[in-house]
């Protein structure tokens, strides 16, 4: 007696065009199920479950909102230094505590834990990439920031 086998299925071909994407002019949105779509560079993504891959050329601390704490409640964030250098600061867990800091140089990254408030300051003009679920992202002005 032979056991019937399930028919093999071939995945549907991608409908994405096969062409280069300028990562500094666009963002990539990775949807549940694996679809990848090109979006505007600074789009906020309110879609639950959509990963946002953003690449930015930054020259000043204002470009990276150094005067604000940022927090992503739904997922960790990967912050990558592609060129230049910058520091990622983490807000203390306890009021009055010291900020934790990670210095990034070209070719390095840090994983920012889900829900951890963080900010960036530049050492030099830089290219950076961030990868996270942006849904629910919050910015909070730093007390005493100028």
pLDDT of 28 higher than 70:
yes
Element (H, E) at 99: none
Contact call for residues 27 and 52 (beta carbons, < 8 A): yes
How far, in Å, CA of 116 to CA of 30, rounded? 23
- Sketch the domain layout of the chain as residue ranges: 27-141
Strand partners, 104: 86
State whether CATH 2.60.120.10 applies to domain 27-141.
yes
pLDDT of 45 higher than 60:
no
pTM higher than 0.75 for the full model? yes
Alpha-carbon 81 to chain mean position: 12
Phi-psi label, residue 33: left if phi above 0, alpha if psi -120 to 50, beta otherwise: left
* Structure confidence by residue, pLDDT tens digits, 78-124: 999 999 999 999 999 888 899 999 999 999 999 999 999 999 999 99
pLDDT of 77 higher than 60:
yes
Give the pLDDT of residue 55: 96
Closest CA to 121 of 137, 139, 106, 101: 101
pLDDT of 4 higher than 80:
no
By CB neighbour count within 10 A (0-12 exposed, 13-18 middle, 19+ buried), where does 22 fall? exposed
């Amino acid at each position: 007696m032979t056991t019937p086998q399930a028919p093999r299925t071939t995945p549907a071909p991608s409908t994405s065009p096969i062409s280069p994407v300028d990562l500094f002019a666009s963002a990539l949105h990775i949807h549940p199920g694996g679809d990848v779509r090109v979006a505007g560079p600074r789009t906020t993504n309110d879609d639950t479950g959509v990963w946002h891959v953003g690449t930015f050329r930054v020259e000043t601390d204002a470009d990276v909102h150094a005067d604000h704490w940022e927090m992503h409640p739904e997922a960790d964030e990967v912050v990558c230094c592609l060129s230049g250098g910058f520091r990622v600061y983490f807000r203390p867990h306890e009021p009055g505590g010291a900020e934790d800091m990670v210095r990034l140089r070209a070719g390095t990254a840090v994983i920012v834990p889900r829900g951890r408030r963080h900010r960036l300051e530049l050492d030099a003009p830089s290219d950076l990439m961030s990868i996270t679920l942006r849904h629910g992202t919050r910015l909070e002005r730093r007390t005493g920031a100028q």
